[in-house]
Amino acid sequence: MTRPYDSINAEQLQRDADEHLLAYGTSYHPEIITSTEGVYVETHTGHRMMDFTSGQMSCLLGHGNPEVVQVIHEHAQHLDHIFSGMISPPVINLAKRLTSVTPQGLDKAFFLSTGGESNEAAIRLAKFYTGKFEIVGLAASWHGMTGASLGAQYHAGRAGYGPLMPGNLVLPSPNAYRSIFTHADGSYDWTAELNYGFDLLDKQSCGSLAAVILEPILSSGGMLVLPPGYLKAMKEHCVKRGMLLIVDEAQTGLGRAGDMFAFTHHPEDEGVVPDVLTLSKTLGNGLPLSAVVTSNSIAQHAKENGFLFYTTHINDPLPAAVGDKVLEIVIRDDLVFRSRQLGVKLQAGLKILQSRYGCIGDVRGRGLMAGVEIVGDRKTKVGAPEVGNALANKMTEMGLWAQLATIASFGGVFRIAPPLTVTEQQLDEALLIMEEALRTTPGTKPLYSLEG
């Protein structure tokens, strides 16, 4: 089968890119990507790599999933885009299917394009419902590049652009590997950290605390997993102050982290339901699709009082049809359970590598969503960006794309997130490539005898 870009003039395209593309904050991969299929991406030179970031953590079912392709073809031909005041079967079907798998209290949804847009809408909804305007984010958060979502984002993107939205406040991120809050035995004391954070918030607030927005696993922040009980304690703090809790599951949703929704994972958090849930990335399998899901009571207040978030591509049929098919496949093929099972295998494999190479300071994550932090010294936990970059280049050369972000603030953490359809054989192959890259890259600090 002939593919669209089987024959290209790569040098000319690179010149055209330099001349015509506006930079947006990251360096480009040195080769042009010309094809994707399943778990693979291929460059113009024919170099094939397993894509263990699922594109931008989005292609939950892999690239070019045949059922998704068929849905795109049918709806591009017959039901692509309509006036924003109209609704269509795919939108209604997706809302019904999605709210059938969310806990009670997440009852109504609408659909947008990007994760940033869904977080923008969620924050706007929280302000409208509460009548307050202060929004609290975690210090390692990433919620998007639009006004309110960027205002609640502290990982990157704040400096150099003038004033942000007023009323932005920050809590410390729960980082068990690096937190200064510890018990006498050295273990992580996230409760003291969270209480301290809220004590500071109360001192800074002007009395208009509207909502907290957070991710169950802070991916861009370094794959930081919220501790068991953290969400329950956070919800209690919110209720005490009349705040809403917004949970951003752009990357963790629909089974990626081993549960349909990651906020439901810990028994210690049982019964905690966010007031607003946002989804994106995984819902569209690479197409721009996001969702805002909330309670009947918040939805009713919004409807009766004229809440406005009217955009050109709200509730578009084509991406909604894709989202409905993605969710159908996740449920039908029990991919949440598969993610949980393969996640145990992935974590075990990464822990073995950690036991063999001193440059791996920490392994964390859940399901098919893992973080590997590269350090220069395990005791001081000092970063080793040159080692991380060398490892990333070696893995890429050997046919594995596992993202070590080009943005410096990502802190030398590999973010690993293969599709839920990845095979055990492909997982084994990826772990072997990682091992060989660690073995052959200077500075990885082997912890075994080279002769043994």
Q: Sign of dihedral through CA atoms 234, 112, 153, 378?
A: positive
Distance separating alpha carbons of residues 236 and 110, to the nearest angstrom: 27
List all residues 6 or more positions away from 208 whose beta carbon is below 8 Å from its beta carbon. Answer: 132, 133, 134, 167
Angle at alpha carbon of residue 173, lines to 169 and 178, rounded to 5°: 140
- Three-state DSSP at 164 gives coil
Residue type, 163: P
Q: What is the DSSP letter of 264?
A: G
Q: Is 3 considered catalytic here?
A: no
Q: Is 16 a catalytic residue?
A: no
Q: Which of 51, 134, 215, 259 is catalytic?
A: 215
Question: Which of 248, 249, 275, 362 is labelled catalytic?
Answer: 248
Q: Which two tokens stand for residue 276?
A: 């607003």
Catalytically annotated residue among 124, 132, 241, 281: 281
Going across the sheet that includes 244-248, the strands are: 108-112, 290-294, 276-279, 244-248, 209-214, 134-138, 168-171
> Quick one: which of 244, 255, 251 has its CA closest to 216?
251
- Tell me if residue 215 is catalytic: yes
- Give φ, ψ of 416 to 5 degrees: -115, 120
Distances (CA, A) of 131 to 85, 128, 206, 236, 248: 26, 5, 13, 20, 21
* 39 within 8 A of 419, measured Cβ to Cβ: yes
Catalytic residue (choose from 153, 251, 354, 403): 251
> Which of 142, 235, 366, 401 is flagged as catalytic?
142
Quickly count: other Cβ atoms within 10 Å of residue 100's Cβ.
9
Per the annotation, the verdict on 401 as an active-site residue is no
Given the residues 51, 366, 415, 426, the one annotated as active site: 415
Is residue 400 helix, strand or coil? Answer: strand
Q: Does 74 participate in catalysis according to the annotation?
A: no
User: Angle at Cα 293 formed by Cα 197 and Cα 233, nearest 5°?
Assistant: 25
415 is catalytic: yes
**φ/ψ of residue 55, rounded to 5:** 70, -125
Q: Which residues are catalytic?
A: 142, 215, 248, 251, 281, 415
